[in-house]
Structures are given as C-alpha cells and as structure tokens.
Amino acid sequence: MRVPGLRRWKVDDLPGVTAVARIDRRTKRLTKRLAAGEIAIIDHVDLDRVSAEALVACGASVVVNVAAGISGRYPNLGPQILVDAGVTFVDNATPELFERVSDGDLVRVHDGVVYLGDEVAGKGEVQTRETVEAAMTEARAGLSVQIEAFAANTMEYVRRERDLLIDGVGVPDIRTPMEGRHVLIVVRGYHYKEDLATLRPYIREYRPVLVGVDGGADALLEAGYLPDLIVGDFDSVSTKALTCGAELVVHAYRDGRAPGLERVRELGRDAVVFPALGTSEDIAMLLADDKGADLIVAVGTHATLIEFLDKGRSGMASTFLTRLRVGSKLVDAKGVSRLYRSRISTWSLLLLVVTTLITFGVALGVSPIGRIWINGLRDFWNGFIFWLVGLFS
C-alpha cells in the first residue's frame, strides 16, 4: 500500500505537467478521446481555429505539435487561441515522439521537453503570446502569395468541374425530398453551436431539411435534432449519427474511390456515392440546389479567405465557386448569434409575468364581477379540500 503512495508523491514532485498522453496525427480524431487534463500530441501544420477550440473545449493541459503550428503561409489563429486559453503549447517538437510515445502513456512535459519515464522522448519550443504574435506578423506579410495560389486553384477547379458547376452533371439522385423546401446545412465550423441555438425558432417554424456535413450530423444530434441527410467522407462523424436513420451520401474522389463507403457497409447501411473534387460542404450545397431547394441556410461553413486557408486545403477554392453557383438561394447563418442577442433577460420576462398576475389579481379584487369570481373560486377550493379530507376520514 505504501509503494503506490510513494510513487505518486515522486511524480507530483517533479516539475512540469505529468498526465496521460493522447496521440494522433489527425487532431479531430484525437479530440474525440481527449479528456480534461490530458496531454495532446498532434501533427498539425498551421493549427486552425476549429481544432484549437476543440482542444481547449476538451480541457487539454498541454498540446505538443510535431509540426509548425504557424508555418508562415497565413496568419492562422489556432496557436493564439491555445495560448490565450492558458494551454501550454509546445511547437515544432521532435517527430520521433510518434514512435516513442503510445496513446495512453504517462508522460511529463517541462520547458518544452517531453519525458517518458526518466528518458527524454522529444523536445520542442514552448510558445508564448509574444512568440505567437511575432510569427503571426511574419505570416501576414506572406498572405499575398496565398491569395495568388488561391486564385490559381480556383481557375483549375473551374476547368475540371465546369460541367458540375454549370449544368449539374454528376449530381446523384437521393430519396430525401428537397423540392420547394428550405435546407439547413450544418458544418462543425466557427460558431456553429451559437448559430444553431439562435436558429431554433426558424427550425421550429419552417422545419427545413436538416443536412449534416460529417461532424455536423453530430452537432445536430447534440442540439436535439435528427438529421435527414448526412454528407461527407465520414472520417469525423460518429457511428451513432451514421445509424440514426438519415440518408447517407458518401463524398468520393473523381476516380470513384470512396474510403467512407467501407465504413458505411460495415454498419449495414446503404449510401449514395457523389464523386467530386470539392469539399463535402460544397457537394451538400450543390445537392440542395440541384434538387430544387427554395432556400439554403448554412451553419458553420467557410466563407472568408482566412477560413478557406484555415481549412488547410487548396480545394477550398471550390467553396468560393460553389457559393457563386447557389448564389441567390444561400443564406449564411454564420455570426447570427453575435449579430443578434435578445435584450430581454429571463429575469425581466419573469418579472413581467409576475407583475401581470398581480395586476390581474388586483383588478379582480376591486371589481364587482371580480369579487364574484373570487368568491366562486374560494367556494370551489373549499369544496375540493372538503372532498380531499373525506377521502382519508
């Protein structure tokens, strides 16, 4: 009984943070099993905002990145979010960490050095507000190069997918009816939770077709809704969502390869395959437009240049063109929760209700008809009490 206690005292006495390590090259996979206080070891060039917010929400104590958190391509916000949240961020760490540390190992991180037992498993650079700001300043200077590359990728996408964009050639048939209806497309992006909460009255009144893009399906389930359609490559959506009864559309490569189709078949589900070069949110919008949706409401999708670059894919240029394609039908719900917040608090509403009831009671008490009603209610109450007492006597 004394040995475990002595061992725990020695671990706690060492400097730095000692905790269980969760390790994965895909940050969005890692956050699914990361618990509060644990150490996340990732391989994420240009750590994006959504991934950083997910790591903070999971309660990571330390994030160790074996890649460059800010490579200088553009001013990505991920590292700044981690540092501002008080998470220790170790960047440009030794790549051998992925060979030396296994998921679930107990590791210690101190001054950028990762210890596995008494041995050094790897080391990196501890980032501070000052170092992150300096890197962001340099990255802003190189943004023009990324804009040029984005424009080139846009032209390449037009050349290769003009039939799909212009004429809708290649859009598959689906069972979910969208003709003449509103379609709500949910991506697990920026402010999706706040915007979904703000859209509750709209969803309740219009009952739009609910489309979840990969993890967006889980976002709908978490908000209390059942998705009608799930679109994506299914690498970041839960089994619960895939088996909730929604129609499934697998995003495939142009050559027909669909890695997500195997997972769907293992679950005993059928799926429609949609080969396209763009992103999954693109094909969700193209589906809704092609199937006759009156209005497309987008939640958590990417709309700005920084968000496109934050996605970390040159193919995000397709989203810019897709938005032009669906044009007049598209309403972006991004920021709705920040644009509008009710000025009437819950307490104000409660006070209004109580005041109304008091006013109503006073009006009944001073009017002849009101007194008749009050006497009638008193007689009814007394009769009820007499009946209730009679049951137990």
Contact criterion met (CB below 8 Å) for 114 and 123: yes
- Looking at residue 388, its pLDDT comes to 73
Tokens 């001013």 belong to which residue? 75
Q: What is the mean pLDDT of residues 33-57?
A: 93
CATH for 2-140 is 3.50.30.10
The pLDDT of residue 338 is above 80: no
3-state secondary structure of 214: coil
CA distance 303 to 213: 16
Amino acid at 291: K
Please provide the average confidence, as pLDDT, over all residues in the chain: 83
Backbone angles phi, psi at 168, to 5 degrees: 75, 20
Angle between helices 317-326 and 143-162 (to 10 degrees): 60
The pLDDT of residue 312 is above 60: no
CA distance 310 to 301: 12
Contact criterion met (CB below 8 Å) for 62 and 40: yes
Amino acid at 6: L
Chain centre to alpha carbon of residue 57: 11
3-state secondary structure of 272: strand
- Looking at residue 389, its pLDDT comes to 76
CA distance 39 to 369: 71
Helix (H) or strand (E) holding 90: strand 88-91
Higher pLDDT, 223 or 8: 223
- Looking at residue 191, its pLDDT comes to 79
The pLDDT of residue 5 is above 60: no
> Which pair of tokens denotes residue 156?
């390449």
Ranges assigned E (strand) in 192-303? 209-213, 229-232, 247-252, 272-275, 295-299
Q: What is the mean pLDDT of residues 353-359?
A: 79
The pLDDT of residue 370 is above 70: no
CA distance 125 to 79: 12
The pLDDT of residue 304 is above 80: no
Mention every residue, 6+ apart, whose C-beta is less than 8 A from residue 123.
93, 94, 112, 113, 114
Most confident listed range (66-75, 139-148, 203-212, 348-357)? 203-212
Q: What share of the chain in percent tops pLDDT 90?
A: 48
Helix (H) or strand (E) holding 17: strand 17-23
Q: What share of the chain in percent tops pLDDT 70?
A: 79
Q: What is the mean pLDDT of residues 209-237?
A: 94
CA distance 308 to 333: 17
Say whether pTM exceeds 0.75: no
CA distance 326 to 285: 7
- Looking at residue 32, its pLDDT comes to 87
CB atoms within 10 A of CB 81: 21
The pLDDT of residue 8 is above 60: no
Q: What's the pLDDT band for 180 if we cut at 50, 70, 90?
A: very high
Reported as half-sphere exposure (CB side, CA atoms, 13 A), residue 70 has a value of: 28
Residue 20 per-residue DSSP state: E
- Looking at residue 6, its pLDDT comes to 36
3-state secondary structure of 260: helix
- What residue spans of 59-199 are helical by DSSP H? 78-84, 97-100, 129-141, 143-162, 192-198
Most confident listed range (97-111, 185-199, 345-359, 370-384)? 97-111
The pLDDT of residue 84 is above 60: yes
Q: Which of 12-16, 66-70, 189-193, 335-339 has the lowest mean pLDDT?
A: 335-339
> Which pair of tokens denotes residue 224?
């209390």
Q: What is the mean pLDDT of residues 376-387?
A: 76
> Which pair of tokens denotes residue 99?
């060979």
Q: What's the pLDDT band for 4 if we cut at 50, 70, 90?
A: very low
Q: Which of 12-21, 143-152, 221-230, 279-288 has the lowest mean pLDDT?
A: 143-152
- Looking at residue 364, its pLDDT comes to 64
**Domain locations in the chain?**
2-140, 143-339, 346-385
Q: What is the mean pLDDT of residues 110-130?
A: 94
Mention every residue, 6+ apart, whose C-beta is less than 8 A from residue 12.
18
Higher pLDDT, 114 or 281: 114
Mention every residue, 6+ apart, whose C-beta is less than 8 A from residue 338.
191, 194
